[in-house]
Amino acid sequence: MVERYRLLREFVKSEILEEVKFENVVDEYWVAEPFIKIIIFEDLENQKLRYHAVEPSLNVEELKLLASLIVDLRRVLTLIDVSLDLEVRAKALVKNFGKIIKEYGISIDSDLYSRMLYYLFREFFGFSVIEPLMVDPNVEDISCDGYDVPIFVYHKNYGYLETNIKIPKLALDRLVMLLSQKSGKHISLANPIIDSTLPDGSRLQATLGTEITPRGSSFTVRKFTTQPLTPLDLVRSGTVPLGVMAYIWLSIEHKLSVIIVGETASGKTTTLNAILMFVPPDAKIISIEDTREIKLHHENWLAQVTRTGIGEQEIDMYDLLKAALRQRPDYIVVGEVRGREAQTLFQAMSTGHACYSTFHAGDINQMVYRFESEPLNVPRSMLQFLDIVLVQSTYLAGGRRMRRTKEVNEILGIDPTDKNLLVNQFVKWDAKKNSHVEVGIPKKLEKIAMSRVDDAYAELERRRRYLEWMIGKGVTDYKEFTKLIHSYYRNPETTFSMVL
C-alpha cells in the first residue's frame, strides 16, 4: 500500500467506504483499503466496459465544510517544510485539522472525521481528484483531454476505459498546476506546455488553457512502477525468452551495443531498464534522457537530464552526449534517440563504447530507413557498429494486450557487393503459436568467444541456468536481482554452486 494510506489508517476512526452495488461487474479490487475501490463493469447500453473509482461519499454540506478546511489548512501547512518526512507532515495535518474543527465550534462523528481526513490526505499529499488512478497499479496511462471531459485510463488487463471522473475548468487548471509543481516544472499561459517527470517516476505531458488545446487544459500521465521490472519479470511474462536474456547478459558484459526498437507503448523503456541490470558492478554508466525514466541499482552511475531554455541556455541530448564522452564511461545509455545525438551515439559505438538506447520503428528495416533519413542522417557505414537490435511489439490475445520481443537481430557488418547491412535474425515471435521460435544461431558469440578463455557457449548455458534458478527462487525485487548478478560477476564459481 502507498505510504500515505498506511499512515492514514493509523488516524481514521471508522471503516469509511460504504458498500456500493453495481450490475454487470467484470472486476473489482481495492487499491487502498478501506479508502479506494475500483469497479470495472459492463455498460450494456453502450456495449463497453467502464472504470469506476469508488471513494468515501460526502453530501453538499460536507463538501462545503471540506472546502473551508482545505483553505484554512493550506495557510498553516504552507509554513511546514515539504522536505520533512511524510509522517511528520501527516501528524501536523491531523493536529491542525482537530484545532480548526474546534475553532469552527462544531463536532463531527468518527465516520465523518475519517472521510474528511481521507480527502485532506488526498489533497495535501496525493494527486487530488485523480488519486485513485495514480495509486491503481493496473493503470498504465491516464489521459485528460479537456474541461468536463471524462478521463480515460489504459488498464493493463482491459485496455482503454472511460472513467467516472470529469474535472471542471477551475479544478482542472489547478490540477495541471499541481502536477507541474510536483514535477518541478513551471507552467503558465506564457509557457503553456511541459514534458516532465513526477516524483514517482511517471512521465507527465500537460498543457494549460485553451490556446494549444481548444477543449481546455489537458494532461497525460504515463505511469512507471516504483519497482522497475527485472529481466526475470520479462521472462515470466513471456516478453523475452530465457535463452535470449542469458545471451543479452553475456553480450552486455562484453560491451556489445544494443538498441530496443518498437512502436509507442511496446515496452521499450521497460526492457532497457531491465537489461541494464546486467551491467558489471564496477563499470561506469552515464545515462542521458529528456525525462527521467532509467532507474538502476548501480553505484557508479551518473544520470543526466536535458534542460529546455531560451537560446544558449538550452542543453539537449547532443550536448550531454558530447560531455559524456569526455568522462570515460564504460556504458552510455540514451533514453530515446530521435535527433542529432544519433550520429554522436554511433561514433561512440565505433570507438568501443557500449551504447544502449530505444528507438521508434516497427522493425529493423524501418529502423535503418529512419536512421539514414533526416534529421538523424547516420551513414550506413556507422550503423554496422551496432551489435544487437531487439524489436518489440504488442499483441492482442483474448482482449488483453501482451508485449513481446518480435525479433532478435544481430548486425554483422555490410555486404561488400550491395552495401546492405548483414543481419542475422535468430529468434522471432510466432503469434499463432504464442511462443518464440529459434530460426538461427547467435553469431555474435564468436566475437565474444575471442575475448574469453573458457567456452562461450558453455558460459551462456550456465547463465541461462542461473537465471532459471532465480526464477525458481521467486526473486522479484530489482535490488535483490542486481545483488545476485553482481555476486556472479565477482565470484562466478561460488555463486553458481548454489544452483547445483
d(CA 463, CA 357): 24
* Of the options 3.90.79.10, 3.40.50.300, 3.50.50.60, 2.40.128.280, the CATH number for the domain spanning 231-496: 3.40.50.300
pLDDT for 405 beyond 90: yes
d(CA 10, CA 13): 8
Residue 227 confidence class, pLDDT cut points 50, 70, 90: confident
Residue 297 confidence class, pLDDT cut points 50, 70, 90: confident
**Inter-residue contact 467 to 231 (CB < 8 Å):** yes
Amino acid 1: pLDDT: 53
Which range is least confidently modeled, 183-187, 291-295, 351-355? 291-295
- The DSSP symbol for 212 reads S
d(CA 489, CA 272): 20
9 φψ region: left (φ > 0), alpha (ψ -120 to 50), beta (else): alpha
CA angle 396, 397, 402 (to 5 degrees): 60
How remote is the C-alpha of 125 from its chain's centroid? 21
Q: What is the CA radius of gyration of the chain?
A: 26
* CA quadruple 154, 151, 58, 134: dihedral sign: positive
pLDDT for 61 beyond 80: yes
**Inter-residue contact 180 to 165 (CB < 8 Å):** no
d(CA 39, CA 114): 22
In tens, the pLDDT along 349-367 reads: 988 899 999 999 999 999 9
* Residue with the three cell numbers 497499479: 137
152 φψ region: left (φ > 0), alpha (ψ -120 to 50), beta (else): beta
Residue 398 confidence class, pLDDT cut points 50, 70, 90: low
Q: Length of the chain in residues, anyone? A: 500
pLDDT for 219 beyond 90: yes
User: Mutual orientation of helices 242-253 and 456-473 as an angle, nearest 10°?
Assistant: 120
Cβ-based neighbour number of residue 380 at 10 Å: 13
What is the rounded average pLDDT for all residues in the chain?
90
Print the SS3 string covering 347-403.
HHHHCCCEEEEEEECCCHHHHHHHHHCCCCCCCHHHHCCCCEEEEEEEEEECCEEEE
**Inter-residue contact 166 to 151 (CB < 8 Å):** yes
In tens, the pLDDT along 107-163 reads: 888 889 999 999 999 999 999 999 999 999 999 899 999 999 999 999 988 888 999
pLDDT for 260 beyond 90: yes
pLDDT for 338 beyond 90: no
d(CA 390, CA 443): 15
**Inter-residue contact 492 to 498 (CB < 8 Å):** no
pTM listed for this prediction: 0.80
